[in-house]
Each structure stands twice: as structure tokens, then as C-alpha cells.
A = this chain, B = another copy of it.
Amino acid sequence: MRAAAKAPTKTSSASSSGEFGRVETLPVTGGQAARPRRTTLRDVADAANVDPSAVSRVVNNDPRASVSEATRKRILEAAARLGYRANVGARGLVTSRTWTIGFVLPSLSNPMYEPIVRGVEMEADERGYGIVVGSQIEGKSPRVFANLLQEGRVDGLLVASGTLHDDFIREIVEHGPGPVVMVNRRVEGVKSSVVVDDEGASRTAVDYLECLGHRVVGGIFGPSKIDTAVRRKAGFAKAVAAHGLQSVEVDRPGWRPEDGFTGARRILKEAPEVTAIYASTLLMGIGALRAAAENRRPVPSSLSVVCLHDSPIAEYLVPPLTTVRLPTEQLGRKAVQLLIERLEGGRERAIMIDGDGEIVERASSGPASAWD
């Protein structure tokens, strides 16, 4: 039951620690050279010759502060000169707010997360919050993220991970000490979420292909256990039906180039009559391009390829890849807004960002060629 620290620690005597927050007992005082001590409220108060409480009220712009204009100046000046910044731990202790948000995402390798993270960081920053990013790497149990909440490291959690029926996430949502907002995917039973219109985006892609005259199209989707994949696939299927097209769809266990490659390969083998393939991520699109090359299907003359989510990389692939751009930065921003709203007592709600995406047309797509 007690998980010993696996590292070759010197003080391996400490076997059962770590379970409650600390891993090993370290020598607390190092031989550190005199390092400038952190400036505290008291330092500023002394410098300005006032009580710490006055300083606190002034720097926090508390309306209950009653100080003369002169004193206020003096305090602000001292704070600036000493580079004072409130210690978030101490503040959190009294306000029960750490002003920090945790952001859990499945991996950093998917370029789609870049704008989401940017949106999250910017919005959080503007609202005075810091963020802790945790990518859910293997060997790191999901417990780690519940711990963020339980250790009081963060006030709430943004989760871009998890499957449709994810008991663990539901457990955190129900019994964890802070609000959780799902971003980009939903989990059954979790009411707070913000997503983009993946279904609409798929429709946009199919509409576009239909316009170009494609009548038989392939679609590559992610794991059917994941909400996002389901919605993308549903949008694809509906659009295909609406236009009376023929289609072949494959599900893959991931969203990586590898999955796009094997997915496209299967489509091209089983239904060589397709003239276009829709990949549900950029990474998959890259894999699909490679499968096309390997199957001697020149792009776009013999096969068009389009994918979801634009990225600077798309522009420089061979050939450049046509994508559907979605407001992912906005997704990140909105997620932070909803989480803060919940922290302030707002109720749970599911948000879908408006917009079904816009085609960024590049050389990987073109008119359907006659096939027979």
C-alpha cells in the first residue's frame, strides 16, 4: 500500500511518505548563498511607516482603505521600489483562493492544443490567474490531477482529457473540492463544458468537397469513446446523407499521423473509388497525405485531402493541406471564463462556441477527377 519513492534516494528510510503530499524528507536548509529574501507586506509597511493592513488595502485597491493621498503614494512607492508581490500561499490561506487554474490536457504533441493553451493563458492572465498545465503523460496516474485540487494548488480544473464515460472525472467533479470544466470534449454526467461546433465543422468540410464535385468520400475519425470523435463523425455522416454522397468511414484508436496513415490506407484499399478524404485532425491529415503518396494517388489530381483544425504547419506540407479553421483560441478563453464564473458561484452550463469553421483552401484539394 505504501508506494516507496522509486528514485535512488539517499534517505530511502522514508518509505511511506509521498502519499500525503511530500515525497521525501529533505534537508530543509541548504548551504544556499545569501539570496534576497522575498519582500513581504511587513517590509513594505515598515518602509512606508504604516500598518501592514493599510498596505494590504492599498495594494489590493480595497474600497475600505482609508488612507490619505499622501500615505497611499508613500505605500505604492515603497511597494514598487521593493518589488512587492503578495505571497499567493498566504493569501490563499485566508481567501481560500489560490488564483491558479489547473489545465489538464492529453498531450502536447497535437498542434491543435497550441491555440487553446494560448487562449487559456491569455484569458487567465488578464483575469489575474496563473495556470498550471499538466499533460497526461503515461505512468502519471490521473490521481495527480485530483491532487492539484486537493492540495489546494488550484481553485479549479480545466480538463481537455477523458473519455465519454469517464468515472474518474465524474468522481472528481462530484466529490472534488473545486469546480471542473471540460474543454473541447464532453464527459457524460459533467455539466460544465465548452466545445466548438465539431459537427458543423465536419459539415463544412463535406459541403466543400461536394461543391468540388466529389461523390465518394472517406472519413477518418478518432476513438469512438471520445465525444469529439463522435460529434465529428455524426456531422460527417449527416452531411454525406444530406448530399446523397457515398462514404466510407474508419475509426482509429488515436489522432496521430500514424492513425491518419493507417486509416487512409484502409480506405484506399477497400474503396479505391474515393476521390476525397476528410481527416478529423491535422496530424491525421499528414498521415493521410503520406498514404496517398504511397498508393500512387497524386494529390489533389487523383485524391483530395482536407482536415480539421488549421495550423502554420499545414501551409508547408507537400502539398499544402486544406483545413477547416475553428475558433480554438476562443475556446480556451471561454473555458477560463466559464471556470471563473463557476468559482464565483455561477451555475453549471454547457457552451458551444459559435461558428462551423471556415475552409482554408490549399493545394491538397481540388475538383473531383473522373474515375472509373
Which residues of A approach B to under 8 Å, CB–CB? 5-7, 9, 11, 13-32, 35-39, 59-63, 76, 79-80, 83-93, 95, 97-100, 107-109, 111, 113-114, 117-118, 121-122, 125-128, 130-135, 137, 139-140, 144, 147-148, 150-153, 175-178, 256-258, 260-261, 283, 286-287, 289-290, 293, 311-313, 315-320, 343-346
Contact = CB atoms under 8 A, between A and B. Distances in A.
Given A38-B177, A98-B89, A290 B261 contact: no
Contacts of A132: 130-133
Contacts of A84: 20
Nearest to A103: B133
Contacts of A32: 345
Contacts of A15: 61
Contacts of A107: 114
Contacts of A9: 63
A126 B23 CA distance: 8
Tell me how many chains of this kind the complex includes: 2
Contact of A5 (B20, B126, B256): B126
A116 to B, nearest CB: 10
Contact of A315 (B19, B36, B257, B317): B257
A14 to B, nearest CB: 5
A280 B100 CA distance: 36
A321 to B, nearest CB: 11
Contacts of A35: 177-178
A22 B60 contact: yes
A132 B133 CA distance: 6
A126 B92 contact: no
Contacts of A177: 35-38
Contacts of A89: 88-90, 92-93, 98, 152
Given A16-B76, A135-B117, A147-B85, A316 B344 contact: no
Contacts of A11: 61, 63
A318 to B, nearest CB: 5
Contact of A100 (B92, B153, B258, B345): B153
Given A30-B345, A258-B312, A289-B318, A17 B150 contact: no
Given A92-B89, A286-B317, A108 B100 contact: no
Given A117-B108, A316-B258, A317-B286, A128 B23 contact: yes
Contacts of A147: 85
